[in-house]
Structure 1
Amino acid sequence: MVLNLITFSSSLLATETEAPESSLVVAGVLLSLVIVYFASKIGGELSNRAGLPAVLGELVGGVVVGISVLHLLVFPESGADSSSSLIISFLETTTKLTPESAENLFQAQSEVISVLSELGVIILLFEIGLESNLKELLAVGMQASVVAIIGVTVPFAAGTAGLMMLFGISAVPAIFAGAALTATSIGITSKVLSEIGQLNTKEGQIILGAAVIDDVLGIIVLAVVASLAKTGEVDVANVVFLIISASTFLLGAIALGNVFNNSFVAVVERLKTRGELVIPAFIFAFVMAYLAAAVQLEAILGAFAAGLVLEETDKRKELQKQIIPIADILVPIFFVTVGAQTDLRVLNPAIPSNREGFIMAVFLIVVAILGKVITGFSVFGEAKVNRLAIGVGMIPRGEVGLVFLGIGSATGVLSEPLEAAIILMVILTTFLAPPLLRFVFPQEDKLATSTPGNLGESMVMETSNSMVPASSDTVISDSSSSSGNG
């Protein structure tokens, strides 16, 4: 499958110059994966030994091997070309790769890694959906909705107004930057919560539910501002379509769980060859991801919904065991790629063009953090809930913020200082959130058991590195598996 994808990518990206041989594309992809796995494992292990979530180490590892430092894993989206990639330079030195085909090879290799990265985050959200509990998510639905709405409205309004009044930014780019502040990275937040054993707590479920709703609202906001940037006017029909499609998709996915579970189990029990459980599950997850993308939502929302549906089946625990090694292979590609695409050179204030962006970045970072932290204090009807942890869990922008930035950059509405400011905001909120989440969830909270009526009977398992709580009907992986998962 991957070889076909590589061959297709190289032929698709070929221009008038001769396309590189598929074997060289395979070689470039394999070298990239070697770098990805080294960066993820070394970064994850060092982060784990420092008492921090492994995902933070994988992000930092990606930064080290990416455009900011070593230039081992670079992508065209960051403005790099084949001459910036040490992998391509190495292939030019050790093979018969010609300079004419080097750029095509670079494009094809980058495209394959990007596709594998997207596949990794889809599997990550599918896995998180399997670890979540639909009934518990519905139980916190109202609180999660309030958190999400405030988490979108406050940063958007404060960021847009502040850029216009304090920095004299015109309306359209200010609105776009404000929209980037609304994002929440469900992939990064959910993985950190899983690593520190807080995914199935009341706070974890509110964060997860709010992040899902936040993503839906963010996609709608993105569609509006992208339309505004391109045409100068908002396409009302498209906005209405997105609202209806998003609502219908999520409600339909929840309703599907009530009728699909028995049918899925019946089909699986009739299959006798290898992959009789995991292959049908992936088919369902990928179909749901496709349907989400087809209605202009994010594919990861479809994968998450698929996980929620299958979480209700009798095969959930067995399926979770089979998903873990697959996630161990693909999920690190996503986190290392996110880190590799972030350019920390924009932090250098010695460059005159960075100074204005640096000042704006400080403003955006403050708004980005405070605008999400206050959302936790909007939770109502819960006497004993860690509201600060809920707000902190909404902070990271991650890949969602990069999507906003990429679209804004493509439309040409963002100035270089403003684009640099948004990059800094995305980087710092992404890197600050994991250690902050570890800090705001006190260590002793991990030893507490849940009430039977709320989260089910819980137990505590001591691994070699940490204490990890889990629901009694949840598959618990050891710390090394968590580290490998990203």
Structure 2
Amino acid sequence: MAIDATHWLSLLSPTFSFSLWSKTIPVLAAATPEAEKGPLVLAAVLLSLVIIYFASKIGAELSNWMGFPPVLGELVGGVVVGISALHLLVFPESGSSASDSVLMTFLQGTSGLSLDTIGEVFQTQSEVMSVLAELGVIVLLFEIGLESNLKELMAVGIQAVVVAVVGVVVPFVAGTAGLMLLFGVPAIPAIFAGAALTATSIGITSKVLSELGRLTSKEGQIILGAAVIDDVLGIIVLAVVASLAKTGEVDVSNVIYLIVSASSFLLGAILLGKVFNQSFVAIADLLKTRGGLVIPAFIFAFLMAYVGAAIHLEAILGAFAAGLVLDETDKRKELQKQVVPIADLLVPIFFVTVGAKTDLGVLNPAVPSNREGLLMAIFLIVVAIVGKVVTGLAVFGQPQLNRLAIGVGMIPRGEVGLVFAGVGSASGALSEATEAAIIMMVILTTFLAPPLLRFVFQEPASVPAKESD
């Protein structure tokens, strides 16, 4: 009867079910393991969040104490708890299984479930955490959009386009040609590696700029605009090389579709801002219950993110566009304050997860299979840094601009670079050495960018794009 009572109470109250889990799980696991996977997944997710928040806070505080941007500490914290060190938070994408996770081992020991069942829990928990991480970066880009200024982004639009194009073409050509000529890498893997060099992590760069108080400077606006355009160009490049790897030829119709849809989406978001602002304010004024402002804002942000994903762009671009649109409303300052605590909860999940999925083991020269990758990685890292730093030289008509800061702001590849590596690996186009080299390039550019941005922004900033609120 005790089991039956617990079962019915679990239907009435998930909280009650979870509180009884630790007492009744050994009996229930033996009787109905399928019924217990739900509470176990919940337990795994909750413990994962504890690990993430602890790692992010400790890392951010230490990083801030040492004079570095807090986001760097969150990334390092993720590395410490992830696949590279403590194995507290690991993911199947890194080649890990449930037996590699300290968290899953703990749950299996306390629940008595079979290895197969705990493996299913591990898979589901990893999927949930990955979704939360994606949600975190969507909220981050929405927040960044609110802090930006649509008019000023349009004002630096030409410079941003030039920076983005140079930042895509130079590393792509140099990386692809160098791998083929210097290392004898076949064309398709070399093209994949060159494509990975074109990426820029708008999430990492924008977060660092915001922490440094330079997001609204002219340099910050050019970096941000260029990173958005770079993301769009990167998606198109990825589509091209992915189709090349699958069929050996480029699907021209798909490339044309991506170009048209990306341009239409961004231009449509800008035009939408001119007609949507007053309607949003009117709706917000009519709502009198809690969340009357922030809930409609997130409805709009998530809808825009969905549209971005649905047309095969990036959800983060839709969220950023939503932030730009709402930035023009009279409720902007109030909305910014309400979004901050939500971002404080969700954004660290993204950065810690990026760090946790990063395997520094590919940097170990003692492993013979890593040595060829190390040589290629050194080459790719040089091209990755130089290929983005030169983008600052492409800016024209701004003699007082910190061009070095613009180039450095485009360096981090972050999660975007990992996407390229993942697609290349899944297609079977990359050798182990080439894949390791790409991953090492992504790791070092991601971790080098925050302290380098701090260093290059030590001099006085140019005239802000808008007054701070």
User: Percent same amino acid among aligned pairs?
Assistant: 76
Aligned partner of 2:219 in structure 1 is 203
Is the 8 Å Cα contact of residues 201 and 413 (structure 2) preserved in structure 1? yes
Q: Residue 255 of structure 1: SS of its match in structure 2? A: helix
The Cα shift of 1:98 comes to 2.1
Aligned partner of 1:91 in structure 2 is 107
CA distance in 1, matches of 2:47, 2:86: 14
CA distance in 1, matches of 2:383, 2:340: 37
Is the 8 Å Cα contact of residues 261 and 309 (structure 1) preserved in structure 2? yes
In the TM superposition, 1:11-30 aligns within 5 A as: 18=34, 21-30=37-46
**Mapped pair 1:32 → 2:48:** yes
In the TM superposition, 1:302-317 aligns within 5 A as: 302-317=318-333
The Cα shift of 1:18 comes to 4.8
Q: Residue 350 of structure 1: SS of its match in structure 2? A: coil
Is the 8 Å Cα contact of residues 19 and 101 (structure 1) preserved in structure 2? no
Aligned partner of 2:123 in structure 1 is 107
CA distance in 2, matches of 1:224, 1:281: 35
CA distance in 1, matches of 2:466, 2:448: 31
**Mapped pair 1:349 → 2:365:** yes
Aligned partner of 2:439 in structure 1 is 423
Q: Deviations over 1:290-314 (max 9, x none)?
A: 0001111010000000000000000
CA distance in 1, matches of 2:417, 2:291: 36
Aligned partner of 2:350 in structure 1 is 334
The Cα shift of 1:455 comes to 2.8
CA distance in 1, matches of 2:196, 2:258: 18
Provide closer, same or farther for how the CA distance between residues 111 and 258 of structure 1 changes in structure 2, counting only shifts above 3 A: same
TM-align CA RMSD: 1.5
In the TM superposition, 1:232-247 aligns within 5 A as: 232-247=248-263
Q: Residue 21 of structure 1: SS of its match in structure 2? A: helix
The Cα shift of 1:20 comes to 5.2
The one-letter code of the counterpart of 1:278 is: V
CA distance in 2, matches of 1:77, 1:366: 27
In the TM superposition, 1:85-484 aligns within 5 A as: 85-442=101-458, 444-445=459-460, 450=463, 455-457=465-467, 471=468, 473=469
CA distance in 1, matches of 2:146, 2:253: 35
Unmatched 5+ stretches in structure 2 = 1-13, 15-32
The Cα shift of 1:19 comes to 7.5
The Cα shift of 1:233 comes to 0.9
The Cα shift of 1:273 comes to 1.2
Unmatched 5+ stretches in structure 1 = 4-16, 458-470, 474-486
Q: Residue 460 of structure 2: SS of its match in structure 1? A: helix
CA distance in 2, matches of 1:315, 1:248: 27
CA distance in 1, matches of 2:35, 2:120: 6
CA distance in 2, matches of 1:92, 1:259: 55
CA distance in 2, matches of 1:445, 1:129: 24
The Cα shift of 1:97 comes to 2.3
Is the 8 Å Cα contact of residues 48 and 89 (structure 2) preserved in structure 1? yes
Is the 8 Å Cα contact of residues 126 and 285 (structure 1) preserved in structure 2? yes
CA distance in 2, matches of 1:151, 1:99: 47
Identify which range, 92-101 or 305-314, moves more after superposition. 92-101
Is the 8 Å Cα contact of residues 173 and 413 (structure 1) preserved in structure 2? yes
CA distance in 2, matches of 1:148, 1:456: 23
CA distance in 1, matches of 2:71, 2:258: 32
Is the 8 Å Cα contact of residues 29 and 112 (structure 1) preserved in structure 2? yes
TM-score (norm 1): 0.89
Is the 8 Å Cα contact of residues 20 and 104 (structure 1) preserved in structure 2? no
CA distance in 1, matches of 2:442, 2:234: 15
Is the 8 Å Cα contact of residues 47 and 57 (structure 1) preserved in structure 2? yes
The one-letter code of the counterpart of 1:365 is: I
Q: Deviations over 1:99-122 (max 9, x none)?
A: 220110000000000000000000
Is the 8 Å Cα contact of residues 20 and 97 (structure 1) preserved in structure 2? no
The one-letter code of the counterpart of 1:322 is: Q
Is the 8 Å Cα contact of residues 133 and 308 (structure 1) preserved in structure 2? yes
Q: Residue 445 of structure 1: SS of its match in structure 2? A: coil
Is the 8 Å Cα contact of residues 62 and 339 (structure 1) preserved in structure 2? yes
CA distance in 2, matches of 1:177, 1:18: 43
The one-letter code of the counterpart of 1:417 is: A
Is the 8 Å Cα contact of residues 20 and 105 (structure 1) preserved in structure 2? no
Q: Deviations over 1:48-69 (max 9, x none)?
A: 0000000000000000000000
The Cα shift of 1:93 comes to 1.1
Provide closer, same or farther for how the CA distance between residues 20 and 150 of structure 1 changes in structure 2, counting only shifts above 3 A: farther
Is the 8 Å Cα contact of residues 159 and 367 (structure 1) preserved in structure 2? yes
Is the 8 Å Cα contact of residues 216 and 466 (structure 2) preserved in structure 1? no
Is the 8 Å Cα contact of residues 180 and 190 (structure 2) preserved in structure 1? yes
Q: Deviations over 1:371-393 (max 9, x none)?
A: 00000011001010000000000
Is the 8 Å Cα contact of residues 290 and 299 (structure 1) preserved in structure 2? yes
Q: Deviations over 1:457-478 (max 9, x none)?
A: 4xxxxxxxxxxxxx1x3xxxxx
Is the 8 Å Cα contact of residues 58 and 335 (structure 1) preserved in structure 2? yes
The one-letter code of the counterpart of 2:232 is: V
Q: Which protein shows a greater Rg?
A: 2
Is the 8 Å Cα contact of residues 176 and 225 (structure 1) preserved in structure 2? yes
